[in-house]
């Protein structure tokens, strides 16, 4: 029973493997946050509360003339705008009479022994207990139901809120966030993940000082630019030590994560749907469910925090047949052919791939309608039989005959003006009447909030997917939203459209994935523009970035690893010189980097040298051999890429310490370079390990303690003489416990 309620002290305690989350109902009925951190030994931290005195911070009406109580200083589970707490809030609401100052008071609670499904939204699943606390406005029957599901093994609390209008009249939600965490201290950092197309999830660590730091998206999707995952941590926290709190939103649309240090030097983090562009009309009797935020705590540094998210998301977020199943090594034709392909060319690529051990061909953009370039045909999900003669059924037979599976690309949320769909339904895209529309990649965005639009796209996709034995779908999305106006919504409900768009996308995904449970879905948005925990509920893997340069990828995959498991990271070996950067790297280096992901190829394998072809065979073999270690093992970042960018090093270790895989890539070699020492992790201290390179060369035998405590010197590259180092050399070293 991880959830306890102390009736006398009116205290709730949620116990996890290493942590405790505690809150209390105070004398006025406000639900105050007490603690989310290391265990409390069964004790209460109610003594932390100082309702305080602060000029210019008013007391609520219930306190009468008492000048020593203010919501502006109190830590709160679900702070509300307008009633005397001037810090960042979770809810802002306009009641029917225009009043905007509800006061949420504890009404009741219950403990469920399951994880409630959030209708129409992604959510964690699996065995857990859930605490449901109902708060009610002191003055009306506006209710907020707070949900806390405890995933004890991972020190994770899944939080969301349901706002229920029982006021007897319609109300307007101006903000409805998912979670808030108050920590009554200062001196924290915020780690967040910024980027742009082909440069996603760059790690930035910023001290939190007085005021607010917020990262957000108003692009209609979670975006390349900011990720809905942030970490609050002690200023001194490292990979291995210090307190840190992760905030991860299971949502794929506009979001905000805000960290604030207030006048009393306390820290507050809020996360949820971005209130910018959001307004929701809630009729009497209706409710609004916020997305879920997964909060995870680690008192043992950022590395442990990441490992908890990895396990939680792999086991309790990803769903379906493919969540834990070994993924096929694939060849994707995008960078091999772009739009210039036909069935024979695809089969030739597949023939070469199958000889080398590759297991699936993915036909990317260009197989449908009049799609000879990226200016047309989105929305016409009908096979172009000039390119794929005999249709998908025939192509699939030819690919299956090679012993390979077949996968297909779609971009369901988009429409080209030059398409049959647009000519038939020019009103189906997001657009405001009498105004122009912005184009991105010369495409418009379909109004996914509309059922008729979703039904039409569904039916086309269903027809194609039923026409052949498909094993995989890549679901792409190549522009952000503008002109967010729907012909289906009245003027005073247009503020609901961003969220309704996301709900529509989720509904279509749910429908298709239910109809084709055998298909592995990979998410994509111009690479990793929608790499979020919401999408992972529908797709167990997401194309990490359109940047396939292995050296650029080191930083992108590094950033991604903070909040997302390796099994979700789509990664391919592509051509050299690289198509995004022109950088030349060895085939080996490209393989080492792509192997820390779902692994596949994205180049014309027929153009490889015989030596490179042999390397493909060896890489596929190695990937199969290391699959469980890479995907089920513990992942350790060994060097901080925000502190230096000369070498990247990371390790996978089996939970029982029996094996490990060490990966090292030289990113930039400087004059008179002295390779650094790495402190390995996750090994059995007093056992011996044999270290062998992926080319079979034995490096030596060390004890686990020596490798972890004294360290392992990064090898010099053999590529230069006398043995020195070169840019982009990579090492993959297997550690086997031998006694």
Active-site residue identified among 612, 634, 651, 734: 612
From the list 20, 21, 25, the residue with the least C-alpha distance to 109 is: 25
Count CB neighbours of 358 within 10 A: 25
Pick the binder of ligand DGJ from 527, 540, 550, 657 (CB under 6 A).
527
| Choice between 88 and 598, CB closer to ligand DGJ | 598
Pick the binder of ligand DGJ from 188, 409, 501, 702 (CB under 6 A).
409
| Choice between 90 and 377, CB closer to ligand DGJ | 377
Structure tokens at 42: 């069964």
Structure tokens at 132: 């449901």
Query: Closest distance between ligand DGJ and the C-beta of residue 547, in Å?
Result: 10
Burial class (CB in 10 A: 0-12, 13-18, 19+), 400: middle
User: β-strands 19-25, 142-151: how paired?
Assistant: unpaired
| Choice between 373 and 455, CB closer to ligand DGJ | 373
Query: Closest distance between ligand DGJ and the C-beta of residue 251, in Å?
Result: 21
User: What is the distance between the alpha carbons of residues 728 and 739, in angstroms, rounded to a whole number?
Assistant: 34
Q: Where are the alpha helices (DSSP H) in 402-496?
A: 420-424, 451-466
Helix (H, G, I), strand (E, B) or coil at 521: strand
| Choice between 334 and 501, CB closer to ligand DGJ | 334
| Choice between 15 and 365, CB closer to ligand DGJ | 365
Phi, psi dihedral angles at 49 (to 5 degrees): -75, 125
DSSP state of 329: P
Residue whose C-beta lies closest to ligand DGJ: 365
- Cα distances (Å, whole numbers) of residue 399 to 168, 330, 344, 405: 61, 12, 11, 7
Query: Closest distance between ligand DGJ and the C-beta of residue 112, in Å?
Result: 40
**Which secondary-structure segment (H or E) carries 256?**
strand 255-261
| Choice between 262 and 365, CB closer to ligand DGJ | 365
Using rule CB under 6 A, residue 622 touches ligand DGJ:
no
Using rule CB under 6 A, residue 526 touches ligand DGJ:
yes
Query: Closest distance between ligand DGJ and the C-beta of residue 402, in Å?
Result: 23
**Which secondary-structure segment (H or E) carries 499?**
helix 497-515
**Which secondary-structure segment (H or E) carries 261?**
strand 255-261
Q: Helix/strand/coil (H, E, C) string of 103-144?
A: CEEEEEEEEECCCCCCCCCCCCCCCCEEEEEEEEECCCCEEE
* Of 87-95, 96-104, 442-450, 521-529: span binding ligand DGJ (CB under 6 A): 521-529
Query: Closest distance between ligand DGJ and the C-beta of residue 393, in Å?
Result: 23
* Of 117-125, 306-314, 426-434, 519-527: span binding ligand DGJ (CB under 6 A): 519-527
* Of 54-62, 520-528, 608-616, 656-664: span binding ligand DGJ (CB under 6 A): 520-528
| Choice between 291 and 526, CB closer to ligand DGJ | 526
Pick the binder of ligand DGJ from 334, 537, 636, 731 (CB under 6 A).
334
Query: Closest distance between ligand DGJ and the C-beta of residue 333, in Å?
Result: 10
Query: Closest distance between ligand DGJ and the C-beta of residue 365, in Å?
Result: 3
Where in 447-486 is the site for ligand DGJ (CB under 6 A)? 476, 478
Q: Helix/strand/coil (H, E, C) string of 320-385?
A: CCCCCCCCCCEEECHHHHCCCCCHHHHHHHHHHHHHCCCCEEEECCCCECCCCCCCCCCCCCCECC
Angle at 732 between CA 724 and CA 594, to 5 degrees: 115
| Choice between 581 and 688, CB closer to ligand DGJ | 581
From the list 559, 565, 539, the residue with the least C-alpha distance to 635 is: 565
Active-site residue identified among 137, 200, 476, 532: 532
Phi, psi dihedral angles at 153 (to 5 degrees): -60, -30
Pick the binder of ligand DGJ from 543, 650, 702, 728 (CB under 6 A).
543
Query: Closest distance between ligand DGJ and the C-beta of residue 524, in Å?
Result: 5
* Of 89-97, 209-217, 523-531, 687-695: span binding ligand DGJ (CB under 6 A): 523-531
Query: Closest distance between ligand DGJ and the C-beta of residue 603, in Å?
Result: 13
Q: How many residues bind ligand DGJ (CB under 6 A)?
A: 12
User: What is the distance between the alpha carbons of residues 633 and 431, in angstroms, rounded to a whole number?
Assistant: 47
Pattern 351-380, ligand DGJ, x by CB under 6 A = -------------xx--------x------
Q: Which residues of 434-457 are buried (b: 16+ CB within 10 A; e: fewer)?
A: eeeeeeeeebbbbbbbbeebbebb
Helix (H, G, I), strand (E, B) or coil at 23: strand
Query: Closest distance between ligand DGJ and the C-beta of residue 319, in Å?
Result: 23
| Choice between 84 and 523, CB closer to ligand DGJ | 523
Pick the binder of ligand DGJ from 14, 20, 524, 551 (CB under 6 A).
524
Instruction: Give the distance between the most distant pair of CA atoms in the chain.
Output: 86
Structure tokens at 659: 């094996």
Where in 249-308 is the site for ligand DGJ (CB under 6 A)? none
- Known catalytic residue at 612: yes
Q: Where are the alpha helices (DSSP H) in 263-316?
A: 301-316
Pick the binder of ligand DGJ from 546, 549, 604, 612 (CB under 6 A).
546
- Known catalytic residue at 113: no
Judge contact between 17 and 297, C-beta under 8 A.
no
Using rule CB under 6 A, residue 221 touches ligand DGJ:
no
Query: Closest distance between ligand DGJ and the C-beta of residue 4, in Å?
Result: 47
User: What is the distance between the alpha carbons of residues 519 and 512, in angstroms, rounded to a whole number?
Assistant: 10
Structure tokens at 504: 């529509």
* Of 78-86, 234-242, 487-495, 522-530: span binding ligand DGJ (CB under 6 A): 522-530
Structure tokens at 79: 């702070």
Residues found near ligand DGJ in the complex (CB under 6 A): 334, 364-365, 374, 409, 476, 478, 524, 526-527, 543, 546
Annotated catalytic sites, by residue?
Answer: 532, 612
């Amino acid at each position: 029973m991880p959830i306890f309620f102390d009736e006398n002290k009116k205290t709730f305690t949620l116990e996890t493997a290493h942590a405790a989350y505690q809150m209390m109902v105070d004398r006025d009925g406000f639900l105050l946050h007490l603690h989310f951190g290391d265990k409390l030994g069964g004790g209460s931290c109610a003594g932390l509360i100082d309702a305080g005195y602060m000029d210019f911070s008013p007391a609520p009406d219930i306190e009468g003339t008492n000048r020593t109580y203010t919501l502006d200083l109190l830590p709160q589970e679900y702070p509300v705008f307008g009633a005397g707490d001037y810090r960042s809030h979770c809810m802002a609401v306009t009641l029917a009479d225009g009043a905007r100052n509800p006061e949420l008071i504890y009404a009741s609670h219950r403990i469920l022994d399951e994880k409630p499904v959030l209708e129409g939204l992604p959510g964690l699943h699996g065995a857990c207990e859930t605490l449901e606390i109902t708060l009610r406005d002191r003055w009306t029957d506006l209710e907020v139901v707070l949900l806390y599901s405890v995933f004890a093994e991972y020190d994770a609390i899944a939080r969301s809120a349901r706002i229920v209008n029982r006021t007897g009249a319609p109300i307007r939600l101006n903000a409805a966030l998912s979670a808030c965490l108050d920590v009554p201290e200062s001196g924290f950092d915020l780690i967040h993940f910024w980027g742009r197309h082909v440069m996603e999830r760059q790690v930035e660590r910023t001290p939190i000082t007085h005021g607010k730091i917020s990262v957000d998206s108003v692009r209609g999707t979670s975006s390349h630019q900011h990720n809905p995952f942030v970490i609050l941590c002690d200023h001194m926290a490292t990979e291995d030590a210090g307190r840190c709190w992760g905030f991860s939103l299971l949502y794929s649309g506009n979001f905000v994560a805000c960290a604030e240090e207030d006048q009393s030097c306390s820290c507050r983090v809020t996360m949820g749907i971005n209130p910018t562009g959001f307004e929701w009309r809630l009729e009497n009797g209706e409710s609004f469910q916020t997305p879920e935020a997964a909060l995870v705590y680690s008192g043992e540094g950022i590395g442990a925090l990441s490992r908890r998210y990895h396990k939680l998301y792999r086991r309790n977020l990803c769903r379906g047949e493919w969540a834990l199943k070994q993924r096929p090594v694939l060849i994707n034709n995008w960078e091999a052919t772009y739009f210039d392909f036909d069935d024979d060319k695809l089969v030739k690529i597949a023939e070469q791939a199958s000889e080398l051990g590759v297991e699936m061909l993915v036909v990317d953009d260009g197989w449908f309608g009049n799609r000879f370039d990226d200016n047309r045909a989105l929305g016409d999900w009908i096979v172009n039989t000039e390119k794929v003669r005999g249709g998908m059924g025939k192509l699939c037979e030819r690919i299956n005959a090679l012993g390979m599976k077949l996968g297909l690309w779609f971009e369901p949320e988009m429409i080209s003006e030059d398409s049959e769909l647009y000519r038939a339904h020019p009103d189906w895209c997001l657009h405001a009447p009498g105004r122009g529309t912005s184009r991105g990649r010369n495409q418009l965005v379909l109004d996914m909030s509309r059922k008729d639009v979703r039904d039409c796209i569904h039916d086309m996709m269903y027809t194609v997917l039923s026409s052949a034995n498909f094993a995989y779908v890549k679901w792409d999305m190549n522009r952000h939203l503008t002109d967010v106006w729907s012909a289906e919504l009245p003027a005073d409900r247009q503020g609901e459209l961003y969220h309704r768009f996301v709900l529509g996308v989720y509904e279509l995904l749910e429908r298709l994935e239910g109809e084709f449970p055998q298909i592995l879905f990979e998410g994509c948005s111009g690479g990793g523009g929608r790499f979020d925990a919401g999408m992972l509920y529908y797709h167990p893997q997401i194309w990490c970035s359109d940047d396939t340069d292995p050296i650029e990828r080191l930083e992108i995959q590094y950033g991604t690893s903070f909040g997302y498991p390796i099994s979700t990271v789509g990664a391919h070996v592509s051509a050299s010189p690289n198509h995004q950067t022109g950088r030349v790297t060895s085939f080996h280096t490209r393989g080492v980097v792509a192997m820390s992901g779902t692994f596949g190829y994205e180049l014309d394998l027929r153009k490889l040298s015989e030596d490179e072809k042999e390397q493909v065979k060896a890489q596929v073999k190695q990937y199969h051999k290391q699959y469980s270690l890479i995907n089920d093992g513990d992942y350790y970042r060994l060097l901080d890429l925000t502190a230096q960018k000369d070498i990247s090093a990371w390790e996978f270790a089996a939970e029982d310490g029996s094996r490990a895989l060490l990966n090292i890539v030289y990113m930039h070699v400087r004059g008179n370079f002295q390779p650094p020492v790495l402190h390995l992790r996750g090994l059995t201290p007093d056992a011996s390990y044999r270290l062998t390179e992926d080319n079979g060369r034995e490096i030596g035998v060390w004890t686990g303690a020596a490798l972890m405590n004294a360290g392992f010197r990064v090898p010099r590259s053999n590529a230069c003489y006398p043995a020195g180092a070169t840019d982009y050399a990579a090492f993959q070293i297997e550690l086997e416990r031998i006694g």
